Structure 1
Amino acid sequence: MKIDPKNGLAQLLFGMKTNDVVAQLGLPNRQFQDEDGNTIYLYDSHKLRLTFYADEDFRLGYAITSHADATLLGHAIIGEPITKILEALPFSSWETEEFDSVTNYFNESNWLTLQVEYGQVIRVEIGALIDEVSDVFIWRFKG
């Protein structure tokens, strides 16, 4: 599963609606509404959590995966040492946040979070970008 910063992951592009995603992946194993009214789809076999933003006409705006086959810019990511990943990626600016046994590495310019436990990446989160001038989401899906 290719993680494509600023665009989406695999065949999913930021801006797709639920019916577009279902056409690609089929029905989710589970779906629910979060506290903000967003629709969340969970796909077990893809180890994938997708968020469709309620205030953006339920467009895909955020994705989380822990799938073993996930790649980021050609690098295997899940289960890899964070030191190896940080050296391999071209991103230089990372904010870190620690809680309990987990450390999050966040790169704002790509809206990318690498979640690390015991020195290894366990999860990747990626979100749609917001245009700095117009303050609106940059939707990659034009359908």
Structure 2
Amino acid sequence: MIINLKNGADKLLFGMKQKDVEALYGKADKQYNDEDGNVICLYNKQKLSLTFYQDEDFRLGYIICSNPETTILDKKIIGKNIEETKAALPFKSWTKEDFDTTENHFNESNWLILQSEYNDIIRVEIGAIINDKDEFDWKF
């Protein structure tokens, strides 16, 4: 599962509609709405959670991935040490936030979160980029 920073993951592009994703992966294994009315689709085989934003005409705006084959810039990252991985990536600006047993390491310029537990990366979260006009920079 290749993370395409600022664009999406694998064949997914930010801005796709649910029907576009279903054409690639089929129906989601589970679907629900969050408290904001967004549609969340879970794909078990790919280990993906996809968020379609209600206030953006249900466009794909957020991807969470825990697929063990996940790569960023040709580097596998799931299960890898968080500090070594951050040092190996070309982005140097990270904000860290603690949540009980997990930590989020956020790089704003790529809207990238590496979530770690016990110092190892357990999931990757990426969001659609917001441009200078305070609008989403849709790729689809």
Fold-level similarity (TM above 0.5): yes
Identical-residue share of aligned pairs (%): 56
* One-letter amino acid of the structure 1 residue matched with residue 136 of structure 2: F
Determine the C-alpha separation between the residues in 1 that align with 2:84 and 2:4.
Answer: 19
* TM-score (normalised: structure 1): 0.96
1:55 and 2:55 matched: yes
Shift of the alpha carbon at 1:88?
1.2
Taking the TM superposition and a 5 Å limit, the aligned residue runs for 1:74-93 are 74-93=74-93
Q: Partners of 1:99 and 1:16 in 2: how far apart?
A: 31
Q: Aligned partners of 2:72, 2:57: CA distance in 1, in Å? A: 28
Number of equivalences: 140
| Structure 1 unaligned spans of 5+ | none
Q: Deviations over 1:97-136 (max 9, x none)?
A: 012111110000000000000010001000000012x110
The answer to whether 1:71 aligns with 2:60 is: no
One-letter amino acid matched to 1:92: K
- Residues of 1 paired with 2:138 and 2:100: CA distance? 35
Give the aligned residue type for 1:36: D
- The answer on 1:104 being equivalent to 2:113 is no
Instruction: State the distance in 2 between where 1:99 and 1:8 align.
Output: 25
List, as ranges, runs of 4+ consecutive aligned residues in structure 1 with deviation greater than 6 Å.
Answer: none
Across the aligned residues of Structure 1 and Structure 2, the Cα RMSD in angstroms comes to 0.6
Q: TM-score, normalised by structure 2?
A: 0.98
Q: Which residue of 1 aligns with 2:10?
A: 10
